[in-house]
């Protein structure tokens, strides 16, 4: 792949390519974030982009990534309504993310197919995180379609399952497989096993805690999402994703509860109501305890994809050593 190596070695062209490609992907993601959660809309219906304020069809130049928003100065041409800053943030954010991805040490050795699949996954993660944060929904277009995508991607790029060192994936020995088997066979078996075990694990956790709490503890979208993660990175990657998601989800939930306690208590004081802090804590807990679990899981997925070796060392070496030091 001489052209790919030349592109990588170009000191200006490679970063410029990543940024422009990322900005274009950001324009696509902004459309997906707007369309996927809404009934009657999809990525192909309507075929042309519409002004979200008045519904008029947008011209080609208005859809140009970054340029369109800046040329219009953040206001719609047809109705002069403000254009949400989120459109610009999607494009700038994914431009920066693609630049980071292209310069990450693990991706430097990837071929064009592997790197393209890696970027597709990043875009899907971005879209899913934003939609779940805004609407508490993980769309089936990403979760369910992510399962066959993960299996096919693993067959094409075994590194997704086995890491850059092509280690034997978890669970393959249970199936009688070993290092002498072809990499695609090991990756495919790990992918199917990862999708199945991830679904069963999180579905079981969801059923148990929903029963204990008397309400839905996890959305079914989270279950389907982790199954797609297992299909892409195998049982081990899905396990690390889940543990990272739980840790960051707990921090996010705690922060949201504390924020709501502060908001409730401040509003009561502003209204001249003297109520005990315990009451504010109670209402802050009720208001702030519900958070989307998708974004923490997605953060875990991104870390596992970008730093597989570091994540593995943390859970298998660093964390056990820290626990041992604490208890001795």
* pLDDT score for 168: 79
Q: What is the pLDDT of residues 13-23, one digit of tens each?
A: 888 999 999 99
266-305: b or e for each residue (b if 16 or more CB lie within 10 Å)? eeeeeeeeeeeeeebbebbeeebeebbbbbbbbbbbbbbb
pLDDT at residue 27 is higher than 70? yes
Contact 33, 130 (CB under 8 A): yes
pLDDT at residue 120 is higher than 90? yes
Angle at 91 (CA atoms; ends 130, 294), nearest 5 degrees:
15
The mean per-residue pLDDT over the stretch 282-310 comes to 88
Of 164 and 152, the structure prediction assigns the larger pLDDT to 152
Looking at residue 82, the DSSP 8-state letter turns out to be B
107 confidence band (pLDDT: 50, 70, 90): low
pLDDT at residue 261 is higher than 90? no
- Tokens representing 253? 């939930």
Please choose, from the candidates 234, 241, 108, 235, the residue with its C-alpha nearest in 3D space to the C-alpha of residue 164.
108
**Up-side HSE of residue 35: CA atoms within 13 Å toward CB?**
18
* pLDDT score for 325: 82
pLDDT at residue 1 is higher than 60? no
pLDDT at residue 125 is higher than 80? yes
* pLDDT score for 283: 81
Q: Is 57 helix (H, G, I), strand (E, B) or coil?
A: strand
pLDDT at residue 76 is higher than 60? yes
Phi, psi of 84 (to 5 degrees): -55, 140
> What is the average pLDDT score of the chain?
86
In the chain, what percentage of residues exceed pLDDT 70? 96
CA dihedral 73, 77, 83, 88 (to 10 degrees): -50
* pLDDT score for 173: 80
* pLDDT score for 163: 67
The mean per-residue pLDDT over the stretch 213-223 comes to 84
Of 294 and 290, the structure prediction assigns the larger pLDDT to 294
pLDDT at residue 90 is higher than 80? yes
* pLDDT score for 52: 75
- Tokens representing 230? 């297992």
Range from 7-11, 159-163, 175-179, 198-202 that averages highest in pLDDT: 198-202
Range from 66-80, 93-107, 233-247 that averages highest in pLDDT: 233-247
* pLDDT score for 165: 60
Angle at 320 (CA atoms; ends 106, 227), nearest 5 degrees:
55
Q: What is the pLDDT of residues 268-293, one digit of tens each?
A: 877 777 777 788 888 888 887 788 99
Contact 174, 235 (CB under 8 A): no
CA dihedral 34, 39, 40, 41 (to 10 degrees): 20
pLDDT at residue 203 is higher than 90? yes
Q: Could you tell me the residue ranges of all domains in the chain? A: 1-135, 141-328
pLDDT at residue 106 is higher than 70? no
Distance from chain centroid for Cα 105: 20
- Tokens representing 115? 């790197």
Query: CA-to-CA distance for 96 and 122, rounded, in angstroms?
Result: 12
Contact 171, 190 (CB under 8 A): yes
Q: What is the pLDDT of residues 41-71, one digit of tens each?
A: 888 888 777 777 777 777 777 777 887 778 7
In angstroms, the Cα distances linking 241 to 64, 93, 246, 293, 305 are 35, 22, 9, 12, 10
* pLDDT score for 108: 64
* pLDDT score for 66: 80
């Amino acid at each position: 792949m001489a052209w790919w190596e030349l592109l990588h070695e170009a000191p200006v062209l490679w970063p410029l390519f990543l940024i422009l490609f990322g900005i274009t992907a950001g324009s696509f993601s902004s459309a997906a974030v707007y369309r996927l959660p809404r009934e009657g809309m999809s990525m192909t219906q309507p075929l042309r982009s519409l002004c979200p304020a008045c519904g008029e069809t947008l011209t080609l130049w208005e859809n140009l990534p970054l340029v369109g928003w800046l040329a219009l100065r953040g206001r719609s041409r047809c109705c002069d309504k403000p254009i949400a800053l989120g459109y610009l943030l999607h494009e700038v954010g994914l431009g920066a993310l693609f630049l980071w991805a292209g310069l990450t040490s693990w991706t430097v050795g990837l071929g064009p197919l592997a790197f393209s699949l890696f970027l597709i996954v990043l875009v899907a993660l971005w879209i899913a995180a934003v939609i779940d944060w805004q609407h508490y929904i993980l769309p089936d277009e990403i979760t369910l379609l992510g399962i066959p995508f993960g299996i096919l991607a693993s067959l094409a790029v075994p590194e997704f399952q086995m890491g850059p060192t092509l280690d034997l994936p978890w669970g393959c020995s249970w199936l009688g497989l070993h290092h002498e088997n072809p990499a695609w066979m090991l990756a495919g078996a790990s992918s199917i096993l990862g999708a199945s075990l991830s679904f069963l694990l999180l579905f079981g956790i969801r059923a148990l805690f929903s029963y204990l709490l008397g309400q839905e503890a996890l959305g079914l979208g989270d279950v389907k999402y982790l199954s797609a993660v297992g299909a892409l990175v195998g049982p081990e990657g899905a396990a690390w994703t889940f543990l990272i998601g739980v840790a960051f989800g707990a921090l996010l939930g705690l922060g949201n509860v504390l924020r709501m306690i502060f908001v409730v208590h401040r509003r009561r004081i502003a209204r001249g109501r003297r109520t005990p802090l315990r009451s504010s804590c109670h209402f802050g807990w009720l208001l702030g305890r519900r958070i989307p679990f998708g974004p923490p899981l997605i953060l875990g997925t991104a870390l596992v994809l970008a730093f597989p070796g570091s994540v593995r060392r943390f859970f298998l070496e660093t964390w056990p050593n820290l626990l041992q030091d604490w208890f001795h």
